[in-house]
Amino acid sequence: MKIPSMTRTPGALRPPFPAIRWIVAAALMTVTAVACDVHSPVGPGEIASMTLTPAQTTMGISSTQQLVARAFDAEGKEISISGSGANSSAQWDMVNGGGTVDGAGMFRAGTAIGTFTNTVRVSMGGKEAFASFTVVAGPAAAIVVTPNPDSVGVGMTRQFVATAVDAGGNPVPVTPTWTVVSGGGTINSSSGMFTAGTTAGTFSNTVRASSGSLSGFATVTVRPGPSVSLAVSPNPHAMPANGVQQFTAMAMDASGNTSPVTATWTVVNGGGAINSASGVFTAGTAAGTFTGTVRAASGSLSGTATVTVIGAPAVTITVTPNPVTLGTRGTQQFNATAVDALGNAVAISPVWSVVHGGGSINASSGMFTAGDSTGTFVNTVRATSGSLSGTATVNVTTSSSPPPPPPPGIFGSAAPNGIMAGTQVTCITNGLISADVSISPGSTITGYPPCVITGTRNLANALAAQMQMDLTKAYNTLAGLPCPPANAIVADLGGTTKPAGVYCSATGIGVTGTLTLDGGGNPNAEFVFQAGSSLTTAGNIVLINEAQAKNVYWQVGSSATIGTASKWQGNIVALTSITLVDTATLIGRALARNGAVSLGTSNTITLP
Round to whole Å and give the CA distance between 466 and 414. Answer: 8
Residues 152 and 260 reside in one and the same domain: no
- In a domain, residue 30? The reply is no
Residues 435 and 506 reside in one and the same domain: yes
- In a domain, residue 42? The reply is no
Residues 332 and 426 reside in one and the same domain: no
Number of domains in the chain: 5
- Residue 181: partners with Cβ closer than 8 Å, 6 or more residues away: 205, 206, 208, 217
Residues 215 and 171 reside in one and the same domain: yes
The residue among 364 and 84 whose pLDDT is bigger is 364
- Residue 441: partners with Cβ closer than 8 Å, 6 or more residues away: 422, 460, 465, 468
Round to whole Å and give the CA distance between 241 and 299. Answer: 32
- In a domain, residue 28? The reply is no
Residues 507 and 422 reside in one and the same domain: yes
Q: Please state whether beta strands 359-361 and 288-298 pair in parallel, antiparallel, or not at all (unpaired).
A: unpaired
Residues 533 and 440 reside in one and the same domain: yes
- In a domain, residue 22? The reply is no
- Which residue, 272, 289, 310, sits at the end of a domain? 310
Please report, for the domain that includes residue 243, its CATH number.
2.60.40
- Residue 28: partners with Cβ closer than 8 Å, 6 or more residues away: 1
Sheet hosting strand 68-72, strand order edge to edge: 49-53, 68-72, 78-79
Q: Are 65 and 72 in contact (CB under 8 A)?
A: no
ω into 608 cis (within 30 of 0): no
- In a domain, residue 404? The reply is no
Its pTM stands at: 0.40
Round to whole Å and give the CA distance between 294 and 140. Answer: 61
pLDDT given for residue 82 in this prediction: 64
Domain residue limits at 280: 230-310
Q: What is the mean pLDDT of the chain?
A: 88
Give the tens place of pLDDT for each residue, 388-430: 999 999 999 875 444 444 555 899 999 999 999 999 999 999 9
Residues 343 and 445 reside in one and the same domain: no
The gap from C-alpha 421 to its chain's centroid, in whole angstroms, comes to 45
Residues 565 and 453 reside in one and the same domain: yes
Beta bridge partners of 544: 518
Give the tens place of pLDDT for each residue, 14-42: 444 344 343 333 433 433 333 334 334 44
Distances in Å between the alpha carbon of 447 and those of 134, 201, 323, 602, 605? 87, 46, 52, 12, 15
Q: Are 122 and 91 in contact (CB under 8 A)?
A: yes
Please report, for the domain that includes residue 331, its CATH number.
2.60.40.10
Give the tens place of pLDDT for each residue, 226-281: 989 999 999 999 998 888 999 999 998 988 898 899 999 999 999 999 999 999 99
Round to whole Å and give the CA distance between 561 and 508. Answer: 11
- In a domain, residue 305? The reply is yes
pLDDT given for residue 331 in this prediction: 84
Overall average pLDDT of the 68-81 stretch: 89
pLDDT classification of 340: cutoffs 50, 70, 90: confident
Q: Please state whether beta strands 324-327 and 345-346 pair in parallel, antiparallel, or not at all (unpaired).
A: unpaired
Residues 445 and 552 reside in one and the same domain: yes
Residues 266 and 293 reside in one and the same domain: yes
- In a domain, residue 10? The reply is no
Residues 508 and 572 reside in one and the same domain: yes
- Which residue, 345, 370, 397, sits at the end of a domain? 397
Over 90: is that where the pLDDT of 381 sits? yes
Please report, for the domain that includes residue 62, its CATH number.
2.60.40.1080
Q: Please state whether beta strands 91-94 and 114-124 pair in parallel, antiparallel, or not at all (unpaired).
A: antiparallel
- Which residue, 310, 343, 363, sits at the end of a domain? 310
pLDDT given for residue 408 in this prediction: 58
Residues 105 and 152 reside in one and the same domain: no
Q: What is the secondary structure of 301-316 as a DSSP string?
A: EEEEEEEEEEPPPP-E
| Buried/exposed code over 248-269 (b: 16+ C-beta within 10 A; e: otherwise) | ebbbbbeeebbeebebebebee
- In a domain, residue 39? The reply is no
Residues shown for the chain? 608
